[in-house]
Amino acid sequence: MSHPHYCAQCGSPVAADERFCPHCGARIPELPLPVMPPLPPAPASVAPQRTGSKIAIWIAIGLIGLVIVGGGISFALTNRSATTASPSTATATLRQPETATGVPQPSATPLSGVIGQPTPIGAAALARATQAQTAQAQALRAPTQTAQALTQTALVIEAEVNALFAESRRVFYDEFIDNRNAWFTGIFQEIELDLIEDGVFKVFWTGKGTSYELYELSSFTNFISEVDCRIARGGGDGSCSLVFGHRRDTGFYKFEFFIDYYRLFTVPIEGELVTLAEGDPRQFTTIGEMNRLRVIRQGDRIRLFINGVLVGDLRDTTFAAGRIGVSTTCYRDEGGVEVHFDNFAIWSLPDGS
């Protein structure tokens, strides 16, 4: 029996498969699987006690002896019959299994064949074996063919991206060797500490919150933007994001990355968040290391990449031109999240590209 889910932040009802509250945006923790009680041990079987006399034992021994003698006679007769048969042919008789009443079914018609060549039943068995081997070979080839197709698709996508880079113009790049672009550093609202050190932009959280760092000089509609991000501490309670289409009067898009989840969603000034794409990035990311996020937008087409892998290709016109930036979020009340940024860059694409 399922139980209703409610947001721990605002108390609003949420669907069972929701990862975030549609009303306040708080992350909904996954419910643990119910623990099944251990099965009681099976009662030990107790062999029934049986009694018998020595006379019954001697009778059983006698019956066993008769069976052995009868079997020896039957083997001798069978062996003698086989020596008199033609050495070039053999006859096989198929018998049906006994029914529940113990009465055997009539035997099938004997099938004869030359020794060393398959009987019709043998030929059918060989045909089935050949078919099974063929199916197995095809199954083994299928993953290879699928991998080849995926590789070919990846090469086509890479060629398209390289062509876009060739016609683009880089308008901003920061590798955070210093604070030449005047990012905010220091303590913000007593729960966020921003530092630029060791060649990266570091954000430390001691409470729940979200931060934004925007490139304020231009708005973009057609662009490529990238950033390397690392969730150094906090596990699934911390995220880093690329923000684009940002306008203070309407809202923005947010491409958010967790160690076990990613999503693209709209953040309107008024109304609910709307998820446009989502998935699990763990097959092509490394936990605890830098992972590269990339967004390519051309008109209403938006493409999302993680470490060069295309993870989303969609069309949306919720927000048009806007600013581009980076963002971090801590979803844990007590904080403990640390996120690092590096190599934040923006390329402008020509209109109609």
pLDDT band at 140; cut points 50, 70, 90: low
What token pair was written down for 111? 């099938």
pLDDT at 196 over 70: yes
Comparing 41-45, 260-264, 347-351, the range with the smallest average pLDDT is 41-45
pLDDT tens digits for range 58-114: 545 555 555 444 444 344 334 433 433 333 333 333 333 333 333 333 333 333 333
User: Looking at residue 6, what is its pLDDT?
Assistant: 77
Predicted local distance difference test score (pLDDT) of residue 136: 66
The domain in which residue 247 lies consists of 169-348
What dihedral do alpha carbons 290, 301, 267, 30 form, nearest 10°?
-60
Does a structural domain hold residue 38? no
Residue 209 sits in a domain whose CATH number is: 2.60.120.560
Longest dimension (CA), the chain: 109
Confidence at residue 106, expressed as pLDDT on a 0 to 100 scale = 37
Report which residue type is found at 200: V
pLDDT recorded at residue 105: 38
Whether the predicted pLDDT of 49 surpasses 50: no
Query: What is the average pLDDT value for the chain, to the nearest integer?
Result: 77
Could you give the number of structural domains in the chain? 2
Q: Is residue 248 part of a domain?
A: yes
315-333 pLDDT per residue, tens: 999 999 999 999 999 999 9
SS3 168: coil
109 in any annotated domain: no
**pLDDT at residue 193, as a whole number:** 97
**Are 178 and 325 in the same domain?**
yes
* 276: its two tokens: 């446009």
Task: Give the pLDDT band of residue 139 (cuts 50, 70, 90).
Answer: low
Is residue 58 in a domain? no
**pLDDT for position 131:** 65
d(CA 254, CA 80): 89
Is 35 inside any structural domain?
A: no
- Whether residue 344 lies inside any domain: the answer is yes
Q: What Å distances lie between residue 341 and 197, 202, 210, 335, CA to CA?
A: 11, 7, 15, 18
Poorest-confidence range of 138-147, 164-173, 187-196?
138-147
**Mean local confidence (pLDDT), 215-244:** 96
| Residue 225 banded pLDDT, cuts 50, 70, 90 | very high
Q: Given CA atoms 273, 275, 279, 281 in this order, what sign does their dihedral have?
A: negative
The answer to the question of residue 304 being in a domain is yes
- Enter the tokens of residue 242: 């690329």
Residue 113 lies in a domain: no
pLDDT score of 276 more than 50:
yes
pLDDT for 291-308, tens place per residue?
999 999 999 999 999 999
